[in-house]
């Protein structure tokens, strides 16, 4: 997986997301979930997913509860399992493809460099912002400010939001200075790595696309 061209990884990821949206029956979505979970040990991502499940289950459970009271059990099950599959596919994709590879893949398929840079920069800054949130919570907790997710702590959340907002502005200013000092808007930019799609990867993409078309035709009955 790591040796594939970023464009191949991007294509496979988009087709996997399309397969999740195409699936309609609860049994089909459950089979997709089993296949995704079975692929995680092969990709050596099982432990990382278990660590991330604590963030998945509240969202999936909330979607299930809202859909159950708004529609019925079958619709709630479909929406909850589809959300879990989408989150799992996204988890696998972002673990397998680095932000740099994502930016290179987007540029190779014709996306303007500025837009690709914004997307990859946001991907790089998500874990950084998460780390800063943990540091702010630890610092405020040492001062006696309770920032746990409780209803009575809502008024304390400004102690988290204001420092986070200030540090976000500092990060944005540092990024702007770094971009300006390195001539961001200069023409004739070249890539550090040169990628090439092999015939085997073309065959893999064609095979995956064929399976997707067959699956879509089968789901339509």
Predicted confidence (pLDDT) at residue 1 exceeds the cutoff of 60: no
User: For residue 190, how many C-alpha atoms fall within 13 Å in the half-sphere facing its CB?
Assistant: 3
Cα 51 to Cα 38, 54, 56, 84: the distances in Å are 17, 7, 10, 15
The pLDDT, as a whole number, for residue 46 is 64
Measured CA to CA, the distance from residue 63 to residue 65 in angstroms comes to 6
**For the ranges 1-5, 57-61, 70-74, the one whose mean pLDDT is highest:** 70-74
Structure confidence by residue, pLDDT tens digits, 79-98:
999 999 998 888 888 777 77
Highest mean pLDDT among 6-10, 11-15, 110-114, 130-134: 11-15
The tokens for 129 are 């912002």
Domain-by-domain residue ranges, the chain?
6-182+193-219
Which whole number is the average pLDDT over 190-206? 81
What phi and psi, each to the nearest 5 degrees, are found at residue 201? -70, -40
Task: Please determine, for residue 116, whether its predicted confidence score (pLDDT) is greater than 90.
Answer: no
CA dist 48 → 16, 54, 115 (Å): 20, 11, 29
pLDDT number for residue 217 = 92
Q: 53 CB contacts (<8 Å, ≥6 apart)? A: none
More confident of the two residues 149 and 168: 168
DSSP notation for 121-134? HHHHHHHHHHHHHH
On whether the CB atoms of residues 142 and 41 are closer than 8 A, the answer is no
pTM of the predicted model, to two decimals? 0.68
Give the ranges where the chain is alpha helix by DSSP (H). Answer: 6-22, 26-42, 46-70, 73-96, 99-108, 113-142, 158-181, 199-219
pLDDT tens string 175-197: 888 877 777 766 666 666 677 78
Question: CA–CA distance from 149 to each of 89, 137, 155, 213 (Å)?
Answer: 28, 12, 11, 44
- In sequence order, which residues have a C-beta less than 8 Å from that of residue 21 and are 6 or more positions away? 82
Q: Dump the DSSP string for 14-54.
A: HHHHHHHHH--SHHHHHHHHHHHHHHHHHTT-HHHHHHHHH
């Amino acid at each position: 997986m790591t040796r594939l061209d970023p464009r191949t990884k991007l294509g496979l990821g988009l087709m996997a997301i399309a397969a999740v949206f195409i699936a309609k029956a609860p049994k089909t979505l459950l089979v997709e979930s089993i296949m995704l979970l079975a692929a995680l040990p092969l990709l050596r991502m099982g432990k990382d997913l278990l660590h991330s499940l604590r963030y998945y289950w509240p969202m999936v459970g909330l979607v299930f509860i809202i859909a159950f009271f708004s529609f019925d059990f079958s619709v709630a099950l479909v929406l909850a399992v589809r959300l879990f599959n989408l989150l799992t596919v996204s988890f696998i994709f972002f673990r397998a493809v680095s932000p740099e590879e994502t930016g290179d893949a987007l540029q190779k398929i014709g996306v303007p460099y500025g837009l690709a840079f914004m997307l990859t920069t946001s991907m790089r800054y998500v874990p950084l912002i998460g780390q800063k949130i943990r540091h702010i919570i630890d610092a405020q907790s040492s001062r006696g400010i309770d920032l746990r997710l409780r209803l009575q702590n809502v008024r304390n959340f400004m102690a988290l939001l204001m420092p986070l907002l200030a540090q976000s502005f500092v990060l944005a200013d540092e990024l702007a200075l770094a971009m300006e000092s390195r001539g961001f808007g200069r023409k004739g930019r070249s890539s550090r790595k040169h990628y090439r799609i092999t015939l085997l990867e073309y065959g893999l993409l064609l095979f995956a696309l064929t399976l997707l078309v067959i699956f879509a035709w089968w789901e339509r009955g």
